[in-house]
């Protein structure tokens, strides 16, 4: 297990280094000069040149890359061109919204999807199983921003149970802040739950067709015992993969939902930084998200070895 974990960790580190090079190179070729955008189109060339000197934009690319990479390793992500504050502080402020939102959404999605997927697999060929997958298909097809607007209209505008948008900050009280994340969490969780439920059902049905499952049934085990004692554990690998991908998506890919509910999260920060060509912020946030995705994938790989010990020997 230690050898398996060490190999996966080394692969994760090399992937992160390669990703940093790609991110830096891609953002460098994006057209537009941050210094000129900050000063305005009527700024003189001398003023633009002086600002470029202050920001280090006219240094060789290699020096700028290694300087930026060294800052990443020490936690110094630079200073925002637009806000003139450390990028780390901006990210820390937005993560306080995006991370709880992602965790709540993923927990809600999992609590809904696994029972639905298991139920649909156990009721294969029956009306109830078909109905469950039909509902899941509808959940996959519905755009989450449209579903979010429906939730706002029903629970915030009509019933007035929760706020329609905004985030008061955790300093306003845990209950008040959590209440403002309820509708966004539901809007994010249900479409993801629909996807996860379908994956769970497909994985279970594939495992239930294996020879060892028929052997277990032939030995007298009930269908329920076979499902929960033998099939479910062996069907978890694709489910864990989807869970890892969904967490990364929920952490960063929520720009539309954050705009619908006016939440100051990472998605809105990236969107604003791109429109303002605040490249240092974009680089910092993207690298944080890539590092999160790589870490989640590493944890998923390690969980594979726990769920299926045969993988340790193959690696």
What is the distance between the alpha carbons of residues 223 and 217, in angstroms, rounded to a whole number? 7
Mean of the pLDDT values across residues 205-214? 84
Beta-carbon contacts of residue 304 (< 8 Å; ≥ 6 apart): 237, 240, 311
Query: In the prediction, which pLDDT does 106 show?
Result: 92
pLDDT mean across residues, the chain: 84
* φ and ψ of 78, to 5 deg: 90, -175
Percent of the chain with pLDDT over 70: 93
Task: Report the pLDDT value the prediction gives residue 311, as an integer from 0 to 100.
Answer: 58
Please name the residues in contact with 207: beta carbons below 8 A apart, sequence gap of 6 or more.
Answer: 213, 230, 231, 234, 235
Q: Which of the 8 DSSP states describes residue 263?
A: -
* Residue scoring higher pLDDT (139 or 230): 139
With cut-offs at 50, 70 and 90, classify the pLDDT of residue 1.
Answer: low
Backbone angles phi, psi at 80, to 5 degrees: -60, 135
Residue 271 has pLDDT above 90, yes or no: no
Least confident of 32-46, 74-88, 100-114, 185-199: 32-46
Please tell me which of 47-51, 195-199, 278-282 the model is most confident about, judged by mean pLDDT: 195-199
Please say whether the beta carbons of 78 and 280 come within 8 A.
Answer: yes
Residue 314 has pLDDT above 70, yes or no: no
> 99: Cβ–Cβ under 8 A, 6 or more apart, which residues?
251
pLDDT band at 69 (very low <50, low <70, confident <90, very high): confident
Residue 36 near residue 48, CB atoms below 8 Å: yes
pLDDT at 51 over 70: yes
CA angle 297/301/307 to nearest 5° reads: 135
Of 56-70, 161-175, 180-194, the least confident: 56-70
For 224-267, what is each residue's pLDDT tens digit? 888 887 788 788 888 888 888 888 778 766 788 888 898 898 88
Q: Nearest-5° angle of CA 289, CA 175, CA 162?
A: 90
Say how many Å lie between the first and final Cα of the chain, rounded.
10
Which of 85, 74, 104, 91 has the alpha carbon at shortest distance from 179? Answer: 104
List CB contacts of 15: < 8 A, sequence separation 6 or more: 294
Tell me the helices (H) and strands (E) count for the chain, helix number first: 17, 0
Q: Given pLDDT bands bounded at 50, 70 and 90, which one contains residue 150?
A: very high
User: Residue 257 has which token pair?
Assistant: 């939902």
Helical packing angle, 182-208 and 236-252, nearest 10°? 160
Residue 312 reports pLDDT greater than 60: no
Burial 156-178 (b: 16+ CB within 10 A, else e): beeeeebbbbebeeeeeeeeebe
Residues 104 and 304: their CA atoms lie apart, in Å, by 24
Comparing 138 with 51, the larger pLDDT belongs to: 138
pLDDT category of residue 23 using cuts at 50, 70 and 90: confident
pLDDT at 58 over 80: no
Is pLDDT at 55 greater than 80 in this prediction?
no
Q: Let me know the angle formed at the C-alpha of 229 by 223 and 234, rounded to the nearest 5 degrees.
A: 105
Q: What is the dihedral of CA 73, 74, 75, 79, to 10 degrees?
A: -100
Q: What are the structure tokens assigned to 237, written together?
A: 């690998």
pTM, two decimal places: 0.81
pLDDT average, residue stretch 278-291: 86
pLDDT bracket for residue 196 (50, 70, 90): very high
Whole-number pLDDT of residue 265: 87
- Return the closest-CA partner of residue 82 out of 261, 264, 256, 270: 270
- Show the domains of the chain with their CATH numbers: 1-85 (no CATH), 88-311 (1.10.3720.10)
92 Cβ contact partners less than 8 Å away, ≥ 6 residues apart: none
């Amino acid at each position: 297990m230690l050898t398996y974990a060490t190999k996966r960790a080394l692969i994760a580190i090399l992937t992160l280094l390669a990703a940093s090079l790609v991110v830096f190179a891609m953002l460098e070729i994006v057209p537009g000069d941050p210094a000129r955008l900050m000063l305005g189109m009527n700024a003189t060339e001398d003023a633009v040149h002086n600002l470029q000197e202050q920001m280090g934009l006219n240094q060789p690319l290699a020096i700028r890359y290694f300087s930026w990479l060294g800052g990443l390793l020490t936690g110094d992500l630079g200073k925002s061109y637009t806000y003139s504050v450390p990028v780390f502080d901006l990210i820390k402020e937005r993560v306080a919204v995006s991370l709880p939102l992602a965790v709540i959404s993923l927990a809600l999605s999992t609590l809904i999807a696994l029972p639905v997927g298991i139920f649909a697999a156990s009721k294969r060929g029956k009306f109830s199983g078909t109905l469950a997958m039909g509902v899941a298909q509808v959940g996959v097809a519905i755009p989450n921003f449209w579903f979010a607007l429906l939730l706002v209209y029903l629970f915030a505008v009509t019933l007035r149970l929760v706020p329609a948008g905004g985030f008061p900050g955790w300093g306003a009280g845990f209950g008040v802040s959590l209440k403002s994340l309820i509708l966004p969490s539901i809007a994010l969780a249900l479409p993801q739950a629909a996807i996860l439920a379908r994956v769970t059902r497909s994985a279970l049905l594939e495992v239930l067709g294996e020879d060892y499952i028929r052997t277990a049934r032939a030995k007298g085990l009930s269908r329920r015992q076979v499902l929960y004692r033998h099939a479910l554990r062996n069907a978890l690998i694709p489910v864990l993969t989807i869970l890892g991908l969904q967490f990364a998506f929920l952490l960063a890919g929520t720009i539309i939902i954050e705009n619908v509910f006016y939440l100051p999260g990472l998605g809105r920060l990236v969107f604003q930084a791109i429109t303002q060509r605040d490249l240092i912020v974009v680089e910092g946030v993207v690298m944080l998200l890539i590092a999160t995705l790589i870490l989640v994938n590493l944890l998923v790989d390690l969980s594979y070895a726990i769920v299926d010990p045969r993988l340790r020997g193959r690696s």
